[in-house]
Amino acid sequence: MSDLILIHTRYQFLEQLRVPIALVASAFFPAAAMLAFVVPFAGADPASATSATAGMMLFGAMSAALIGLSISVAQDREQPWDPYLRTLPAGPLPRFAGRILTTMAGMLLSVVPVLLISAFLTAAAISPLRLALGIGALLVGSVPFMLMGLFIGYAASPKAAIAVSQVAYFPIAALGGLLVPLEVMPGFLQSLASFVPSRGAIELMWAAVAGRTPSPVSLAAFAVWTILAAAAATWAYRRDEGRRFS
């Protein structure tokens, strides 16, 4: 099984490298936001710069997980060999695992420009251990967004997946406080922040990189979103499979 997972991961990663626009977009937007907002407004303060860098890392990872994964899945469903792959005795696990590992690799690549900008253009300070913990928290925090990407990819056509994933991406990121601090948002938006998955994810990262105590409500909401997204992705896959082989 592990050999099959590695084969699918290698294949899907090479496919992604052949059309690298998704990787470029995932890396460009958080890096541009770092240069436009974090460097001039929070770059001089070590604590603020470190927290803002974590937010931009999650912003890029969300793009790879939610937008990139949903589009790649939807496009693969249109390929003539997709029904054939589903008939193979290995089952769906190697393909799912390969997609997840490929997406994680894309996420790690997308945060490199953010880390470089933070290291050279801000006063952000972090120990190697905290950085490693932050990357681990980033991977954990990206799980519900990858599951959402799988759900959209299996439920929508390629064109619809582009639109739906982008419409979902920016409000979730903004409501979680990734783009601007919650303190500058209207009160009713602040009250919603704890219930979006991006808030729980960023609080996990802040706990890892800065030792801040996460909100129990945000963590509980994050867990609920993860469970619901997993159920939705499973339903969408089975529904798509039933339509193809009925």
Rounded Cα distance between 140 and 132, Å, is 13
Q: Tell which wins on pLDDT, 162 or 14.
A: 162
Above 70 in pLDDT, residue 101? yes
Domain residue ranges of the chain, discontinuous segments joined by +: 2-245
Rounded Cα distance between 227 and 229, Å, is 6
Above 90 in pLDDT, residue 129? yes
Rounded Cα distance between 148 and 65, Å, is 8
Above 70 in pLDDT, residue 19? no
Above 90 in pLDDT, residue 209? yes
Single-letter amino acid, residue 169: Y
Res 188: pLDDT: 84
Above 90 in pLDDT, residue 107? no
- Candidate from 52-66, 78-92, 146-160, 173-187 with smallest mean pLDDT: 78-92
pLDDT, the chain, mean: 87
Res 206: pLDDT: 95
Give 43-73 pLDDT, tens digit per residue.
889 999 999 999 999 998 998 899 888 988 8
Q: What mean pLDDT do residues 165-186 have?
A: 89
Res 246: pLDDT: 59
Above 70 in pLDDT, residue 13? yes
Entry pTM? 0.89
Percent of the chain, pLDDT > 70?
Answer: 92
